Structure 1
Amino acid sequence: MDPLEDVLALVGATSRLSAALAAGGRWAVRFDPPTGVKFNAVRRGSCLLRVDGVPEPVPLAEGDCYLLTRPLPFTLASDPDTPPEPAAPIFWEAVDGVARAGDGDDVFLIGGAFTFTGRARALLLDALPPVVHVPAATPEAATVRWAVGEIDTELRAASPGGTLVAEHLAMVMLIRILRLHLARTGGAGWLAGLADPVVAPALRAMHAHPAQPWTVAELARVAAVSRSTLAARFREVVGRGPLEYLTGWRIELAADRIRRSDETLASVARAVGYGSESALSVAFKRTTGLSPRAYRGRADAVG
């Protein structure tokens, strides 16, 4: 299995699109912290992105896009000196799916947000910087630009099923942006492991067969390195040892099955690599702070 696919499936990533923003002249719009992972793409013109807590503004040019991975207030503006208007009233008055700021429409952005299950922060988002910027000049960003263009086309055409198509295209864009981030920076945590030639084979093996009774020696054979090399490299890149990572991943899989199904805990334990319900319970409580039964009760109460 592909670890990135596994994690995206586990965090339940879904997308929604918001009204577009057309702006011109001197303008600035202040946004409240997004509830999900916000994205915007610049279809025309240029502007500045300022995110609270991020020291430098990000200049955005035509064709650029970005992800905001933290619930931080942010501002889009024509320049650094224009006082911002709150976004909510501007977007409440959107006409035909387009909100307007300033005077004119020499700048045009489309955007939306990705939402995830509660575990997304630990599994995915904490491994990303607050802002992931994809400049249009980046050659590898061609697919992102294609997806953004198709999203724009679907929304403008208002064809049957267009919103659903646009949302699926947004998911394509998310995966491409994550790939570009990995290619540029290597990421952090398990994301960094996906780009590491020693760690990646071991990660793929654990995700392909999480219930297998892996040892460090067996994982080292998969990675074609010595046991000590794998253990040291895995800890250096991912931040914990391979078997510690495996335990965490098994617990994530177990938690997902407990939330989504009525399987017995004994069946869940076998499916994720534990020989008994009691063995799963010990590892589960050590990792999450709750027993599997308490976790199921909490999930049932919420759901």
Structure 2
Amino acid sequence: MDALAGLLEGPRARGAFMIRACFEPPWSVRVEDRAPLTVMLMVRGEAWVMPDAGERSETGFPPAEGRERVRLRAGDLAIARGPDPYTCADDPGTEPQALILPGGECRYPDGRSLNGVMDLGVRTWGDRLDGSAVMLIGTYLWQGEVSGRLLDALPPLLTLTPEVWDCPLTRLLMTEIVRDEPGQEVVLDRLLDLLVIAALRAWFARPEAAAPGWYRALADPVVGRVLRLLQDDPAHPWTVASLAAKAGVSRAALGRRFTELVGEPPMTYLTGWRLALAADRLREGDATLEAIARQVGYGSAFALSSAFKRVYGVSPQEHRGRGV
């Protein structure tokens, strides 16, 4: 498995929340649904997406990367990584008129229920069906639907414009999102997965993308080979010596080069990789902890459980339960 395929083998939507949002200015919607990942594809008109930390602080320093507010135009795509809230609006100065909460609950800013008030048809929501702003929105509702390694590799907010990517799915999504056919939920789930994978593949290919260190290090002839060995066969009893022999360098040289490019030593990376795989597999199916331990390179369920709780702060069973 190549590294990008490994990173993108999730997401796998299950009953994702998908709508076509139609608005006429002025409009503003605040999103506090705590969803792990949301995709916004601007079909017509313009919109601002504003993470909570997007404003310049009182100290005058600029906001952290990925938290700046962005302006979307027709054809642009934005991906917001949760759980932090954000606001979508026609203008940064427009006050929110609706609040989106976990579970698909919608309220006025004063707390009154808005559920059903802004429905405009099948998976269509807003204030005007012929509004000048139209956006397709897809939301992964559960953490287990998106690889933890993928979420860790993303900024809070990323955007792509038609100049750097060409989305062949827009027309199909516009057609399918308003259909009410048997099995339509599954069709939309798979289309959302394809949209996310296509967008992230384009984003990671950009030279200025803040890809994780291990992803950039794949281009190195020594470290890239070692990374592929670890990713392809995490259950193997690797040591620094065996990896160095495969790469044709000394243990010291491998340790220095790997740490410099990836940001951590080889064995630390391997531990993180094994535990990340275990975390994803715990939420993907009903395999026993013993089976998962063997698959990712731990000698027993107890050994995996101890390492997992040390890093994630919860037991594997608790982690699995949170993804349901």
Counterpart of 2:255 in structure 1 is 231
Q: How many residues align?
A: 295
Counterpart of 2:16 in 1: which secondary structure? strand
Aligned-partner residue type, residue 25 of structure 1: P
Matched, 1:85 2:97: yes
Give the 3 Å change call, closer, same or farther, for CA 19–250 of structure 1 in structure 2: closer
TM-score normalised by L of structure 2? 0.74
Counterpart of 1:75 in 2: which secondary structure? strand
Within a 5 Å distance, the mapping from 1:89-168 to structure 2 comes to 89=107, 92=116, 93-96=118-121, 97-101=123-127, 105-117=131-143, 123-138=149-164, 141-142=165-166, 145-168=167-190
Q: Is the contact made by 1:186 and 1:195 (CA closer than 8 Å) also made in structure 2?
A: no
Counterpart of 2:31 in structure 1 is 31
Distance 2:310 2:288 in 1: 21
Deviations 1:23-69 (A, max 9, x none): 22333222224423111101111122211112332010100111100
Q: CA deviation at 1:297?
A: 7.6
TM-score normalised by L of structure 1? 0.78
Q: CA deviation at 1:131?
A: 0.3
Counterpart of 2:169 in 1: which secondary structure? helix
Aligned-partner residue type, residue 181 of structure 1: W
Counterpart of 1:242 in structure 2 is 266
Counterpart of 1:75 in structure 2 is 87
Q: Is the contact made by 2:40 and 2:78 (CA closer than 8 Å) also made in structure 1?
A: yes
Counterpart of 1:21 in structure 2 is 21
Distance 1:178 1:220 in 2: 32
Q: Is the contact made by 2:81 and 2:151 (CA closer than 8 Å) also made in structure 1?
A: yes
Distance 2:309 2:240 in 1: 24
Q: Is the contact made by 1:250 and 1:272 (CA closer than 8 Å) also made in structure 2?
A: yes
Distance 1:210 1:285 in 2: 19
Distance 2:203 2:143 in 1: 22
Distance 1:161 1:276 in 2: 41
Give the 3 Å change call, closer, same or farther, for CA 103–21 of structure 1 in structure 2: closer
Distance 1:229 1:102 in 2: 63
Tell me whether 229-238 or 114-123 shows the greater mean CA deviation: 114-123
Distance 1:268 1:57 in 2: 41
Q: Is the contact made by 1:51 and 1:74 (CA closer than 8 Å) also made in structure 2?
A: yes
Distance 2:2 2:216 in 1: 14
Matched, 1:211 2:235: yes
Give the 3 Å change call, closer, same or farther, for CA 202–116 of structure 1 in structure 2: farther
Q: Is the contact made by 2:11 and 2:193 (CA closer than 8 Å) also made in structure 1?
A: no
Q: CA deviation at 1:98?
A: 2.0
Q: CA deviation at 1:102?
A: 7.1
Distance 1:300 1:163 in 2: 24
Counterpart of 1:59 in 2: which secondary structure? strand
Tell me whether 149-158 or 219-228 shows the greater mean CA deviation: 219-228
Distance 1:252 1:47 in 2: 35
Q: CA deviation at 1:281?
A: 5.9
Higher helix share: 1
Q: Is the contact made by 1:37 and 1:70 (CA closer than 8 Å) also made in structure 2?
A: yes
Q: How well do the aligned residues superpose, as a CA RMSD in angstroms?
A: 3.6
Percent identity reads 34
Counterpart of 1:202 in structure 2 is 226
Counterpart of 1:212 in 2: which secondary structure? coil
Give the 3 Å change call, closer, same or farther, for CA 220–147 of structure 1 in structure 2: farther
Give the 3 Å change call, closer, same or farther, for CA 196–20 of structure 1 in structure 2: farther
Q: Is the contact made by 1:183 and 1:195 (CA closer than 8 Å) also made in structure 2?
A: no
Counterpart of 1:19 in 2: which secondary structure? strand
Deviations 1:256-285 (A, max 9, x none): 6667446473x5544433456665566455
Distance 1:301 1:179 in 2: 28
Counterpart of 2:103 in structure 1 is none
Counterpart of 1:156 in 2: which secondary structure? coil
Deviations 1:191-238 (A, max 9, x none): 444566654432222121112222334434655666545433432343
Aligned-partner residue type, residue 19 of structure 1: I
